Structure 1
């Protein structure tokens, strides 16, 4: 429903549509909240001079008319005859108490060009439809690349729009071997400055600074769709980051989430109110049907109009109510799965970031919610601890057996760093100790789950972040010229080669993508397990066609290890290329180099 509101363009004609729910008309719309108490709404913008008035002028502004809607009320106004271009507007609202307010459009497709948080529309420009993936894959088959558009492109984009600059690096991503890009939020945020995007204000709109090119002002959405098409042509999946727990309502009545300030008394807004665990900006009130429908429609808009192949749902703990499948994230996931099944897209990835105090509780909650996966922080915490101290213990086995306790068809997204935390190279002691991260890379790409690489991790970016506070949201531009492959930097070149090799091995071998893992929960007498005295981990992965024995040495010393095997005969170490012959179901006194490992392979 909400995707049909906003500024709807047909040729040179624009119809503005602004909806308000009313529980007297449709009781399902809200159980808490009220009416906006509006006397008049005018549409003011920089299009008015083209129609004979003055831009942003009150007297010549369009007056919207109120009409009944099956779920409430709809305000409408139309204009025609505009030339091609990018136009900005806002609603100027006069309330019943004679106060006035400038409000943006909650369903706008375009963000404004400056700090005023205008809405916008486009006449003309280029158009393309997003073409679906030729071979969509289930989540367990993917290797994700978490990409922050600003940071990824800052070092080289020059005058290019950031999404165009991402498109210029697709050969690099394809050569690295990843087959999915997990974009950090691209929806509009307040102010127009740098942001990670977790302070959303316009949910249907792409952030202006990501798609703006002065030479082609009407091509903003075309740019993002073209990028997605280019990724799909390489069979690279696109995962968007959706922030649906909260909004940036703001404190200035003329700025912030429109469905907050469009109400004379913002406390009457049925969209905003306490629900579960907030703490970040202002919460959506998922007790109200209008919120569920708004967020569902936002998700389907990106899934259908932009053909995204999955959504990561940020901070789902904030809109999860255990035991209430009819509310919050549980209902949202169920509704989306039903809609996607009807559209023949059951493979779309629905991923939770579910930050329970006990991170393992997120597994049970993911099963209850029936999402496809959740982020698995314990893998990162353990990897960074081991990289820094060179130690392994019983906790290591638990995180490597990452798919444990997930229901069939569900699993973890594993990683050794992400946007929320310092880089693993930093946690390992600094870039001069880049080699300490190699064992973590080996386990990441050979353990159960869906592995994710944070942009720059593959060539050893080493940014530090504080654990909490506003200082965490800071630019971390990738230093392509001095650290990436081709720069001549030894650490960057070496790590890139390691990741490229490991990603290829994972994609080539289905057994490495299975949930099968041994041993757990304890070390096995034959020699499988995590051994603190040597810093070595030995584990077994398999499926019906392949067997793997993986030995990883986290210590700073070469270790001579007796490695167990399930069968005798030849096994190939896919890291070194060496073939060994196993007799007596073990390889005695085998050298595992420091901060490195062996991936022994045998076909069944």
Structure 2
């Protein structure tokens, strides 16, 4: 590693004479050395390969060439210093099939590192690979067409870990734990049920969100030892612009992982599904060993005043996204995934650690390509040295148009506090959660001032969920918080939670297996638990086919009624009205053909009490059951709206029109006044 020495009260790296006395921590460093070209990394052609490296603090730089991923160097070629702290080299021959690294002299030390801009790598990402990216395109790639998406609120997201999908012994999927496992069609599991892609497509979801599939550290999964037990979610970024090799049929072939991920995207598009990548630009796997630090020590990560690494991510470090060259890197990385892999959306891990300016620049650049590309993330309020007003979190959602954030307030209101395991929520008859549910129903917007206000300015900013890869599954949380309930009672609570997600304004988000009451055996944080804890249990899926059908019907209900997918806050305020309901129940109407809905009015009831319940219905016309008829004991449909207006109720009497609804059991009921 490079020499470290004190500089203006902080730690500086290297020899300041190289930068004319300007420290990497000095604002003047960016003014002097920001490079705005688009040719960083290796640019291949059969005639030559051009290399450009950004390393302003280096006094010397070299390209090191290798014949194999694990061999010794066959050549070491000096680079020439060029503009804005960059170094260049052109090799006038066909370098296809070679591997390379950079060596830089920083201070008195020589550091060797993978090119951060590498688009292909060898096993475990320890050397960059030189290849023609066009040779990795599957047949028909140029004709790949993504499904249409008119608005983010039209999305129904299904979060999936690739290994979870296929690794179960009865998944019926041949290429287990691989990109291609998700491309297999016609797979069948226990009792002949559809599995894999057929199962997902059959639910009616619109987007598959993949847990990290970029190249992550061998400390998470060693690509050279895949025959041994292994599992990890992959939140340990190493090479941001390359697919993870453990999901390829041959991690030793740099082209395989690229082609096979493209085949996955191509196949899902053909089945009417878009693809979201889970991306982790808030931290790296190791702040000291990552290529960023080896090439330009001190620049790419955040430091506290005492010189130690800022660690709001609780992973040892944070990426300094606010610094121009780090911001440029993140933006260009996102654009690479869109252009090269046709990715349709991005879920930003720990979004609250990334700066607002970078996120807005990504949104601007994506809008130039395709405004329908989704951007969502974890807008948690994280502690970091980045000033509060610059953090891309829920408090600053108003500064982040077009970027969605997970609605944890709704999640905790529905199922109970995720960190207090035995705490009940609305679905389990917990006290005082009705307003929390209402806030989620309204899409997190300022619906009624301080009473029903969350972080969102528009509904596309609220990602509604009750379960994801983090924390307990919904089923496990319900079990922990309802020790005296029966499984049938828990299934009713579980169904109600999913119904709330799919009938609320905003973007609904489902965790793979939520449709069949997925359990991880009570494990809260399964990021490196055995595969038996994490796999999608297709035997459980077979046993819960009625629950799968129920969730499928909820998605169909949402898709049939635009009223559940209002695109603006003004539309929600104009058409959504909360109705009278007793404790442990929430009722609302969506009125006047909301969003162009085929029905004139909708009435939705979330009931968390198992006993009988009687409610007065608004006198809007004759009501009919649209969903949840199994809970309806009686429906006095009421008079027409005009008749109700002509015969107002007596003081203290029933509502004009006399409409009443009697229900029993925990669940959701949807009524409608037709045209």
Interval containing the TM-score (normalised by the shorter chain):
0.7 to 0.9
Correspondence for 2:101: 90
Once residues 2 and 202 of structure 1 are traced to their aligned partners in structure 2, the CA distance between those partners, rounded to angstroms, is: 20
Correspondence for 2:225: none
- Give 1:512 shift: 1.3
Query: Helix, strand or coil for the counterpart of 2:479?
Result: coil
Change (3 A) 1:125 1:154: farther
Answer yes or no: is the 8 Å Cα contact 2:440–2:505 preserved in 1: no
Q: Please, which of 587, 608, 631 is the counterpart of residue 538 of structure 1?
A: 587
Query: Helix, strand or coil for the counterpart of 1:110?
Result: coil
Q: Which piece of structure 1 moves more, 307-316 or 508-517?
A: 508-517
What are the within-5 Å matches in structure 2 for residues 253-268 of structure 1? 256-263=289-296, 266-267=297-298
Answer yes or no: is the 8 Å Cα contact 1:518–1:539 preserved in 2: no
Does the alignment pair 1:46 with 2:67? Answer: yes
| 1:501-531 Cα shifts (integer Å, max 9, x gaps) | 000110111001126669999x97xx524x3
Does the alignment pair 1:352 with 2:424? Answer: no
- Alignment TM-score, normalising by the size of structure 2: 0.73
Once residues 367 and 206 of structure 2 are traced to their aligned partners in structure 1, the CA distance between those partners, rounded to angstroms, is: 23
Correspondence for 1:449: 506
Correspondence for 2:181: 165
Answer yes or no: is the 8 Å Cα contact 1:333–1:350 preserved in 2: no
Q: Mind listing any 5+ residue stretches in structure 1 that lack a counterpart?
A: 23-34, 49-54, 320-327
- Give 1:243 shift: 1.4
Correspondence for 1:582: 638
Query: Helix, strand or coil for the counterpart of 1:453?
Result: strand
Q: Please, which of 54, 59, 68 is the counterpart of residue 20 of structure 1?
A: 54
Correspondence for 2:605: 551
Q: Mind listing any 5+ residue stretches in structure 2 that lack a counterpart?
A: 1-35, 185-195, 222-230, 305-309, 384-391, 417-424, 447-455, 481-485, 640-655
Once residues 245 and 284 of structure 2 are traced to their aligned partners in structure 1, the CA distance between those partners, rounded to angstroms, is: 18
Correspondence for 1:8: 43
Correspondence for 1:28: none
Does the alignment pair 1:310 with 2:332? Answer: no
- Give 1:301 shift: 0.9
Once residues 304 and 467 of structure 1 are traced to their aligned partners in structure 2, the CA distance between those partners, rounded to angstroms, is: 36
Does the alignment pair 1:102 with 2:112? Answer: yes
What are the within-5 Å matches in structure 2 for residues 66-215 of structure 1? 66-69=80-83, 71-78=84-91, 80-81=93-94, 88-93=99-104, 95=106, 97=108, 99-114=109-124, 117-122=126-131, 126-128=136-138, 129=141, 131-155=144-168, 156=171, 157-160=173-176, 162-168=178-184, 169-191=196-218, 193=221, 194-213=231-250
Correspondence for 2:436: 395
Correspondence for 1:61: 75
Once residues 566 and 64 of structure 1 are traced to their aligned partners in structure 2, the CA distance between those partners, rounded to angstroms, is: 82
Correspondence for 2:334: 299
Once residues 87 and 522 of structure 2 are traced to their aligned partners in structure 1, the CA distance between those partners, rounded to angstroms, is: 46
Query: Helix, strand or coil for the counterpart of 2:546?
Result: helix
Q: Supply the RMSD in Å over aligned alpha carbons.
A: 3.4
| 1:170-204 Cα shifts (integer Å, max 9, x gaps) | 32222100011122221111115133222212111
Query: Helix, strand or coil for the counterpart of 2:398?
Result: helix
Does the alignment pair 1:506 with 2:564? Answer: no
Change (3 A) 1:422 1:585: farther
Does the alignment pair 1:337 with 2:363? Answer: yes
- Give 1:212 shift: 3.4
What are the within-5 Å matches in structure 2 for residues 214-229 of structure 1? 218-229=255-266
Correspondence for 1:429: 479
Correspondence for 1:25: none
Once residues 463 and 580 of structure 2 are traced to their aligned partners in structure 1, the CA distance between those partners, rounded to angstroms, is: 24
| 1:333-374 Cα shifts (integer Å, max 9, x gaps) | 33233323433x22222223111279xx95441121224321
- Give 1:446 shift: 0.9
- Give 1:467 shift: 6.1
Change (3 A) 1:8 1:80: same
- Give 1:497 shift: 0.9
Answer yes or no: is the 8 Å Cα contact 1:177–1:504 preserved in 2: yes
| 1:268-327 Cα shifts (integer Å, max 9, x gaps) | x355545794533322223421111111111111122222222222212212xxxxxxxx
Change (3 A) 1:441 1:388: closer
- Alignment TM-score, normalising by the size of structure 1: 0.80
Answer yes or no: is the 8 Å Cα contact 2:619–2:638 preserved in 1: no
Answer yes or no: is the 8 Å Cα contact 1:147–1:181 preserved in 2: yes
Answer yes or no: is the 8 Å Cα contact 2:426–2:434 preserved in 1: no
Once residues 287 and 496 of structure 1 are traced to their aligned partners in structure 2, the CA distance between those partners, rounded to angstroms, is: 44
| 1:123-172 Cα shifts (integer Å, max 9, x gaps) | 68542446342523310111111112222222245545611111223322
What are the within-5 Å matches in structure 2 for residues 256-295 of structure 1? 256-263=289-296, 266-267=297-298, 269-270=299-300, 273=303, 277-295=312-330
Q: Which piece of structure 1 moves more, 346-355 or 498-507?
A: 346-355
Q: Which of the pair is proportionally richer in strand?
A: 1
Q: Please, which of 622, 625, 633 is the counterpart of residue 572 of structure 1?
A: 625
Query: Helix, strand or coil for the counterpart of 2:255?
Result: coil
Answer yes or no: is the 8 Å Cα contact 2:283–2:317 preserved in 1: yes
Change (3 A) 1:149 1:397: same
Once residues 518 and 390 of structure 1 are traced to their aligned partners in structure 2, the CA distance between those partners, rounded to angstroms, is: 28
Answer yes or no: is the 8 Å Cα contact 1:571–1:581 preserved in 2: yes
Change (3 A) 1:138 1:200: same
- Give 1:537 shift: 2.3
Once residues 426 and 339 of structure 1 are traced to their aligned partners in structure 2, the CA distance between those partners, rounded to angstroms, is: 41
Query: Helix, strand or coil for the counterpart of 1:441?
Result: helix
Query: Helix, strand or coil for the counterpart of 1:218?
Result: helix
Answer yes or no: is the 8 Å Cα contact 1:517–1:539 preserved in 2: no
- Give 1:229 shift: 1.7
Q: Which piece of structure 1 moves more, 239-248 or 497-506?
A: 239-248
Answer yes or no: is the 8 Å Cα contact 1:425–1:462 preserved in 2: yes
